């Protein structure tokens, strides 16, 4: 496993982080076995992954609870990334939100706390006061900004990192923040590199995508532009399939390699529901993928119209 320093902190994250959203099951992911989730976390730790991304919004805290169970006895090997409840409206509710997450996670600290100002009612001044209180009490170590653009990121002094969606099918978010991350030496966690499975090599037609996941991957049948979006997306998938067959590299590895090779990206957050999935995803780090193939991958998605949005975390 490779590691990179996050901003000017003393924390180093693995190049691949485990996204724990699916641990909560629910509408998009269906029934999830807790033992499978715990096994996935333990496999990730054994592979050298040290960063785990969760949120109180995933299953009303269920993802945090499962992650807390999985890390019991191995907490010091992990960096936990979590978020504030978007319903926080003042400093008191902000503190309670963090306390509730700590209880579910069975820990005394969150290493990287994310805030999404665009979805929160709390005033910026109160937000910063709350964050300073959390840091002063040792409840969080660093904070960062989630799902924002350059202007919003620049408003928050002291933020150590940004988390944004990043895939061949959705480069816009990365482009909006990569510049400010570079200029302010901020870390960048890139989530949804496989676009919730669209780039995993599992789907070659809309009908193959489970109905409950079509909204999640930006294929909501109710959208007026869905037909054009479908054509654009599956043309990229077809090109990736061609590159995969000619190079002998699996499609999910091609998509992950593209994200890992974005200069601004510190760590790529990859979801997994089963141990074998995270084992397979991490094996991309052992792949020798040439610069020529990386250019082909980049070109495959360079002309996509109406990028597929990753559902907000």
Tally of domains in the chain: 1
Q: Under a CB-based contact definition with an 8 Å cutoff, are residues 297 and 254 in contact?
A: yes
Lowest average pLDDT, out of 22-36, 136-150, 248-262, 275-289, goes to 22-36
> Is residue 298 a part of any domain in this protein?
no
Positive or negative, the CA dihedral 247, 251, 256, 259 is positive
> Is residue 24 a part of any domain in this protein?
yes
> Is residue 305 a part of any domain in this protein?
no
Residue 16: pLDDT band (50, 70, 90) is: very high
**Domain ranges, residue 74:** 3-202+255-288
- What is the crossing angle of helices 91-105 and 124-136, to 10°? 40
Per-residue pLDDT at 154 exceeds 70: yes
Which tens digit of pLDDT belongs to each residue from 173-229?
A: 788 888 888 888 899 999 999 988 888 888 777 777 777 666 666 655 445 455 556
pLDDT at position 312 is 44
Average pLDDT across the chain, whole number = 89
pLDDT at position 140 is 98
pLDDT at position 228 is 56
> Is residue 244 a part of any domain in this protein?
no
> Is residue 165 a part of any domain in this protein?
yes
pLDDT above 70 as % of the chain: 90
pLDDT at position 151 is 81
Per-residue pLDDT at 274 exceeds 90: yes
| CATH number of the domain to which 182 belongs | 3.20.20.100
Query: What's the rounded mean pLDDT across residues 15-33?
Result: 89
User: Whole-prediction pTM value?
Assistant: 0.91
Alpha-carbon distance of 24 to 65, in angstroms, equals 9
> Is residue 26 a part of any domain in this protein?
yes
Distances from the Cα of 199 to the Cαs of 113, 125, 172, 238, 301, in angstroms? 28, 40, 17, 10, 11
Alpha-carbon distance of 35 to 56, in angstroms, equals 20
CB-side neighbour CA atoms (13 Å) of 199: 31
């Amino acid at each position: 496993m490779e590691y990179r320093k996050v901003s000017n902190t003393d924390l180093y994250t693995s190049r691949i982080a485990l996204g724990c959203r699916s641990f909560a099951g629910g509408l998009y992911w269906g029934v999830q076995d807790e033992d499978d989730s715990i096994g996935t976390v333990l496999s990730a730790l054994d592979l050298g992954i040290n960063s785990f991304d969760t949120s109180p919004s995933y299953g009303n805290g269920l993802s945090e609870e499962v992650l807390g169970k999985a890390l019991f006895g191995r907490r010091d090997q992990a960096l936990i990334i979590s978020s504030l409840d978007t319903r926080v409206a003042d400093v008191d509710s902000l503190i309670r939100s963090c306390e509730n997450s700590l209880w579910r996670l069975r820990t005394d600290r969150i290493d990287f706390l994310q805030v999404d100002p665009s979805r929160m009612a709390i005033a910026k001044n109160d937000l910063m006061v709350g964050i300073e209180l959390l840091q002063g009490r040792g409840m969080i170590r660093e904070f960062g900004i989630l799902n924002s653009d350059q202007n919003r990121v620049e408003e928050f002094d002291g933020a150590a990192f940004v988390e944004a969606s990043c895939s061949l099918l959705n480069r816009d978010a990365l482009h909006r923040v990569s510049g400010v991350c570079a200029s302010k030496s901020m870390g960048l966690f890139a989530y949804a590199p496989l676009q919730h499975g669209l780039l995993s090599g599992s789907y070659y037609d809309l009908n193959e995508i489970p109905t409950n996941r079509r909204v999640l991957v930006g294929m909501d049948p109710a959208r007026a532009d869905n037909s054009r979006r479908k054509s654009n997306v599956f043309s990229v998938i077809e090109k990736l399939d061609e590159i995969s067959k000619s190079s002998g590299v699996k499609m999910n590895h091609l998509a992950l390699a593209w994200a890992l090779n974005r200069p601004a990206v510190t760590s790529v957050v990859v979801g997994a529901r089963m141990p074998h999935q995270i084992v397979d995803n991490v094996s991309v780090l052992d792949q020798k993928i040439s610069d020529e193939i990386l250019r082909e991958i980049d070109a495959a998605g360079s002309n996509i119209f109406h990028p597929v949005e990753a559902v907000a975390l």
